[in-house]
Structure 1
């Protein structure tokens, strides 16, 4: 595990926000990284450029995480390009917010398709592909403990991700592959800022004992730990939120 130069990571949703920070952090540890994107090839290319400019190895590949054929091609691209898969990070997700009473069911279905089916599709492929000594890392949310209004559909999707994570960890018995979830608190990403007035952002930041929002780099550090040295952490949800919950 000390030699990361031959290890390969797939990071979904890596064109921006937390996924981008995770991809760059894993590359800094010496992993070759497949940068997945859904709709923005340009920002994925920027992530790849940042990694290669820092001396790392990266390639970009697009596709819908909920489409098993597209994700099959993504995994094959990682194998063809780098030789295998050792780490899979499921950071792709969407977070439309509304009170339960006002949530449009088409929006609800879209959240579940990306966050639940997408995580399941990628985790299933990871379980079939990741080499011994590897790691599967899913993304939940600290909203599961904070229980803030308007996050009902999103929290429901992440509850499913936690259930999948804990069970898959047990199903990987004997394969030397860890399965964990990272549960960020409020983090300074475009996904978090979208639709929030500044006074709401300031209020949420002020609730944290650390008196700030998390940064994508804060979350990337924990993810890199699980991807590398944290081999005795398995079947866990790590709440990564500065003490907010």
Structure 2
């Protein structure tokens, strides 16, 4: 079940990234006249390839295998939820602002998508063969948190209804007019797809323990166990043989 969830969740993240990327292309196209629409794809290709090249260079230059840390595991769940939320509210704003401000905001959205790519790479944890973390099977949200999560997304829906109701009916270009109708649908779709990210972010907030698997740095044997916070707030190995308990991340 854990392996199935791992592949399904990573597939979901990649699908969300592709959807956001397609929406970004439609936004970039509004800055070009119809006869130069292909220029938007040049910028899109750069945004898509830049994080891949940066990550590939980093992997080639690193001197040793990385070990996933609990602190970054948790903060990465916060980061990806915030990034998608920023993109979701940035898209309608970018479509109605003056062109120079719209360009700046679109650049910010593109930067968020670059960070989102790095976050997906972190979620997949391909580079953490020696030490990989995951949520315990019994991790869950409280009833109050579930209700709060539902109300939060309902509030986002109402916010978009308000935003689009006060958007101007006239746009500077025909491309922006068309893109506004597309963004109306896209923002609500992103809001729905944001639910699993927010769920995992709250799950990370609740986490007192994390499961891990990998290779022990001393014995080089297969290493499986649980990490928890000690009294000083450090993450330490909890359930392990005596010679493994000294390991601290």
Task: Verify same fold: TM over 0.5.
Answer: no
When normalised by structure 1's length, the TM-score is: 0.25
Larger Rg: 2
Between the two structures, name the one with larger relative contact order (CA 8 Å, sep ≥ 6).
Answer: 2
- Whichever structure has more helix as a proportion of its residues is 2
More strand by share: 1
